[in-house]
Structure 1
Amino acid sequence: MTIIVAPFSNSDIRDWPAEHFAAAIGHLADAWPGRIRVIGTANQRLRARDIVRQHDPDRVSNECGRIAWPQVVRELEAATCVIGNNSGVAHLAGRFGVPTLCVFSGSHQRLEWRPLGTSVVTLTRSIGCSPCHFDHGSSCPFDKACLRLITPRLVADTALALIAERARATAADAATPAQQELA
């Protein structure tokens, strides 16, 4: 039972604030018994350290730069849930059918650029300036309000709901045909 958190994209305009990720991980760790692994590149390792440092290292780990891409793919396929930004990781996890929560900035059209899949939820806050089509957070005169308005509690609660829904679906699929006929 592992939640994979991918807090970084290739453009900071799409990155939910690190302190929001840290708070969401705290809510998840309080409510869910499994492990939480933060993934990313070696260059993102120091930034990820700020996200995981306040959490129990036996449950929350910084795997940035420690996992080669083929292993990342295997981890995504096996994950209980994946939480990320509008990035390749969220798109890949969604394609695998893994419960995926994408925190989506207002920089791009959600309907055009969101991850696709049967178990994908995209959280976004449409505000007057979106889509802005900015490439860098420093270009935003509103300090990425479209992302800051998405709360850590909402992200944690939505991820837990995705996990619960997958558990219900898995339990229903595991029922024998005779049990299904009686239901």
Structure 2
Amino acid sequence: MKSPDSERENSPSARVLALFPGALGDFVCFLTALRALSERGKVDLLLARSEYAALAPPNVTTRSLERYEISRLFVVGSEGEQAIRRFFAPYESIYSWMGSGEEGFIRRLRAAAGGKVEFFPFRSSDSRMHMSDYYLTCVAGPASQKSAAAVRLQPEDILWAAEFAQGRGLGDRRILVLAPGSGAREKNWPVEFFLEVSRWWRCETGGQVLVVYGPAEEERLGEPGRWDGAIQVRGLSLGKVAALLSRCDLYLGNDSGLTHLAGALGIETIALFGPTDAAQWAPRGRSVTVVSRNVPCSPCSSSAMKRCAHRKCLAGLSPDAVTGLIRRLAERRRPASSARNPESVENIATS
């Protein structure tokens, strides 16, 4: 028999609060767990970046983690403040992936919320568990199958993407997206190799190339003129980027948040992995291919990644190997059954 607390938590009127501090790739991995929470009732999600709201499932309201009621929990004695208690009072249950290693934060949040808080480490301690599975396990117990995110596109973003394509004369041209950046330059395939792929695609297929990267990456990824003939995309909202990606034929990127997003959208996605662990971080989706050289020192620790002098896990991955893979993927049709598989990942070792 379910307890009254369990029945209340799973009732349509239950309110849940989730605290999640991750970047874009983390958030895409978290979406499956977030959807599971939203099926129990209304969810208020406090997250690191407000733009992630464009990807949130229905029944989820997003707000920033940078708010008074959260920052005060790092201050001794704040749990007794009425404003703090009033903020947490409406929630039947609270899940937090932040502060799990901060004893003071844990104690004060539990006191302010009346004890109805579950804390989880932001990262799984199991190096072989995918992060999507880990987050889902936190809220729903062991998963019976591999989890994969579903991304919701907003109607206004879909309309904008259609107008963008029409305005750029893309028409029926095949579109390859290149995303040469990531959250750490040590995870990046050399930008010169992306440039070679861009030139090859336009010559080989007559298609168009979209280069997608954020403002923080522009300086280190080369002058705009180097991408001669390609359409460069900057400064878009995350919702618009998602809608634009959904219209494209194929995506090539590093281990990054955008690559997770492309995989979740279901487009043909090639993810280049070097120092990071694909077992935990490979993007999930129905058409995902992970490319890795499988060198003995990969994956490596964050500190080893930053001091690595040779970067052979990525620098040794030739553009010819990648263009050969793109050619094979562009020519073949994915079997219909793959659409039902939340992770269709093919690991390819290149010499």
Give the match for residue 225 of structure 2. Answer: 53
- Name the amino acid aligned to 1:53: G
1:78 shift after superposition:
1.1
Offset of residue 128 of structure 1 = 2.1
Task: Give the unaligned 5+ runs of structure 1.
Answer: 171-183
Assess, with a 3 A threshold, how the Cα gap between structure 1 residues 137 and 108 changes in structure 2: closer, same or farther.
closer
Q: Paired residue for 2:298?
A: 130
What is the TM-score normalised by the length of structure 1? 0.79
Distance in 2, matches of 1:55 and 1:89, equals 19
Q: Extract unaligned runs of 5+ from structure 2.
A: 1-173, 337-351
- Please report how far the alpha carbon of residue 49 of structure 1 lies from its aligned counterpart in structure 2 after TM superposition: 4.2
Report the TM-score when normalising by structure 2: 0.43
Q: Give the counterpart letter for 2:308 in structure 1.
A: C
The residue matched to 1:141 in structure 2 has which SS?
A: coil
In the TM superposition, residue 93 of structure 1 has moved relative to its aligned partner by 1.1
Matched positions, count: 163
Q: Contact 1:27–1:153 at 8 Å: present in 2 too?
A: no
Partner of 1:115 in structure 2? 283
Q: Partner of 2:74 in structure 1?
A: none
Aligned Cα root-mean-square deviation (Å): 2.2
2:255 counterpart (69, 76, 86) = 86
1:104 aligns with 2:277: no
Task: Kindly report which structure 2 residues correspond to 1:59-74, keeping only aligned pairs within 5 A, or say none.
Answer: 60-65=230-235, 67-74=236-243
Is the alpha carbon distance of 1:130 and 1:32 closer, same or farther for their aligned partners in structure 2, counting shifts above 3 Å?
A: same
CA distance in 1, matches of 2:184, 2:284: 20
1:135 Cα deviation (Å)?
5.6
In structure 2, the partner of 1:76 is: 245
Give per-residue Cα distances to partners, 1:13-46, cap 9 Å, x unaligned.
1110111111121221211122101011122234
Which amino acid in 2 is paired with 1:12?
A: R
Residue matched to 1:18: 191
In structure 2, how many angstroms separate the alpha carbons of the residues matched to 1:54 and 1:169?
Answer: 37
Larger radius of gyration: 2
Quick one: which amino acid aligns to residue 180 of structure 2? P
Higher normalized contact order (CA 8 Å, seq sep 6+, divided by chain length): 1
- Counterpart CA distance in 2 for 1:151 and 1:53 is 23
CA distance 1:23–1:97, change in 2 (3 Å): same
Q: Which residue of 2 aligns with 1:42?
A: 215
3-state SS of paired residue (1:53): helix
Q: What SS does the aligned partner of 2:182 have?
A: coil
Identify which range, 157-166 or 90-99, moves more after superposition.
Answer: 157-166
Q: Supply the AA of the counterpart residue of 2:269.
A: T
